[in-house]
Amino acid sequence: MIRTYVGLIIVLALGAIVVSSLSNYSVPLELGSTGHNYTQRGVDDTGSVNLVTAVVVAYRGLDTLGEVVVLFSASTAVVLILTLIPMGANPTPSSSIVSFTAGVLPGAIVLFGIYIISHGHLSPGGGFPGGAVVASAFLLIMLGSNTIPGQSRLLASIESLAGLTFGLLGFWGMMTLGQFLNNKVLPVGSPGKLLSAGIIPLISLVIGAKVASELSGVFASYRKAGGEK
Amino acid sequence: MTAQSLFYWSLVVTAAGLVLIGLWGVLTRKNILRIALAFTLADTGVNLILVWSGFLPNRSAPIVDASVTSMVDPLPQALVLTSIVIGVAVAALFVVVGVLASRKSGSADVRRMKELRW
């Protein structure tokens, strides 16, 4: 009972702070200086028409590398902790609707994911959302089959290879242009074309492969630990 | 109040509401998986507030095109992309730790987990 009251008091206090700060909030009409710089120079600097991708992959590429490391360590920790939990005997059997869908849809889902990954510099998308879409196809396959997924050497090697390639692409810029993850080691090309924007499409591809394999690994270890005891 | 400003303010009210509901759930729920759900709810609310803070009226999405003259701030959107991925990683870890703790104490009730008492 006391939990509810304390929780309610804390939430109400925070709500009052939110309301009082919003009542003094004035709607901005112009961009801040950083945002202004990105929108003015983004296309010339990076060749990426999608400025969000330009910021994520080119301007703040090092942060994205760190983000990939966070995702990697989290997925490693998930797999590690799940080995402590006794394995389920058999996964809960899936219904015929799920197993039929799992036979039909994954190809189209993977294709859509590859489209999102490869067009990250042209339209909303990129490595992270596209990789998540590809991983959802693997999740569907796993839900449709009634066996426990085994160890996958292929997934592990794709994951390591993608991480290694990301680092090597960074060092390529350091060797040739003196800057880690410099985007202009490849020609920027004409913005709006599929093959343009320097190494942004390559990095999107690498991130997509890494996110897809990592999330698939997490789903697979969930599937292994779940099921009837 | 025009339709656009109604949308603008309803967005931030929704976002702040999500954060508050999530916080309330984390503080008061007893099942550890519900706490994880409440946590992701608060996470979504924070992401929504960040995207909302980059919104400027009468501007288009930050994708350069011949017809686009002015656009919203791309920086918060890039930040939220990072935040979503970290949120997924933390949620996946949260659920696994919750499952491990509930197997150890024999129940998903946080009151029975000595390590999590407050």
What does the domain layout of chain A look like in residue ranges?
45-225
CB pairs under 8 A between A and B: 122
Choice between B54 and B44, residue whose per-residue pLDDT is larger: B44
Is the CB of residue A179 less than 8 Å from the CB of residue A58? no
Chain centre distance of CA A143: 21
Dihedral-angle region of residue B112 (phi above 0 means left; psi in -120 to 50 means alpha; beta otherwise): alpha
Dihedral-angle region of residue A94 (phi above 0 means left; psi in -120 to 50 means alpha; beta otherwise): beta
Return the number of other C-beta atoms located less than 10 Å from residue B12's C-beta.
18
Instruction: State the pLDDT confidence band at B22, using cuts at 50, 70 and 90.
Output: very high
Is the CB of residue A90 less than 8 Å from the CB of residue A171? no
Say what the pLDDT of residue A227 is. Answer: 54
Residue A200, chain B, CB below 8 Å: the answer is no
DSSP, residue by residue, A79-128? HHHHTTSPPPSBPPPPPHHHHHHHHHSHHHHHHHHHHHHHTTTTSS--HH
pLDDT (tens digit per residue) in A89-113: 666 777 888 888 888 888 999 999 9
Please give, rounded to a whole number of angstroms, the shortest distance from the CA of A8 to a CA of chain B.
Answer: 7
Tell me the C-alpha distance between A76 and A69, whole Å: 10
Q: Hey, is A216 helix, strand or coil?
A: helix
Residue B116 per-residue DSSP state: G
Residues on chain B touching A44 (C-beta within 8 angstroms): none
With CA atoms as reference, report the closest residue to B74 among B58, B84, B87, B63.
B63
Task: Give the H or E element holding residue A13.
Answer: helix A2-23
Residue A80, chain B, CB below 8 Å: the answer is no
Say what the pLDDT of residue B68 is. Answer: 73
CA A110 to each of CA A114, A120, A130, A184, B60: distance values in angstroms, whole numbers, following the listed order: 6, 15, 9, 30, 30
Q: Which of B24, B54, B77 lies closest to A11 in CB terms?
A: B24
pLDDT above 70 for B117 = no
Is the CB of residue B53 less than 8 Å from the CB of residue A28? no
- Report all structural domains of chain B as residue ranges with CATH numbers, in order of start: 3-55+69-116 (1.10.287.3510)
Q: What is the ipTM of this complex?
A: 0.80
pLDDT above 90 for B41 = yes
Bridge partner list, B109: B31
Say what the pLDDT of residue A39 is. Answer: 81
Residue A21, chain B, CB below 8 Å: the answer is no
Please provide the average confidence, as pLDDT, over all residues in chain B. 84
Residues on chain B touching A211 (C-beta within 8 angstroms): 85
Residues on chain A touching B16 (C-beta within 8 angstroms): 15, 18, 22
Q: Which of B8, B27, B86 lies closest to A67 in CB terms?
A: B86
Q: Hey, is B27 helix, strand or coil?
A: helix
Say what the pLDDT of residue A127 is. Answer: 83
pLDDT above 90 for B40 = yes
Mean pLDDT in order along chain A per 10 residues (229 residues) = 84 88 79 80 79 84 87 87 72 80 89 90 85 89 76 80 85 79 76 77 88 86 66
With CA atoms as reference, report the closest residue to A216 among A92, A79, A44.
A79
Choice between A206 and B111, residue whose per-residue pLDDT is larger: A206
Mean pLDDT of B62-69: 76
Residues on chain A touching B81 (C-beta within 8 angstroms): 52, 56, 126, 128
Mean pLDDT of B22-48: 90
Q: Which of A167-171, A196-200, B66-70, B91-95 has the lowest mean pLDDT?
A: B66-70
Say what the pLDDT of residue A111 is. Answer: 93
Return the number of other C-beta atoms located less than 10 Å from residue A195's C-beta.
10
Q: Which of B27, B78, B82 lies closest to A7 in CB terms?
A: B27
Tell me the C-alpha distance between A1 and A101, whole Å: 46
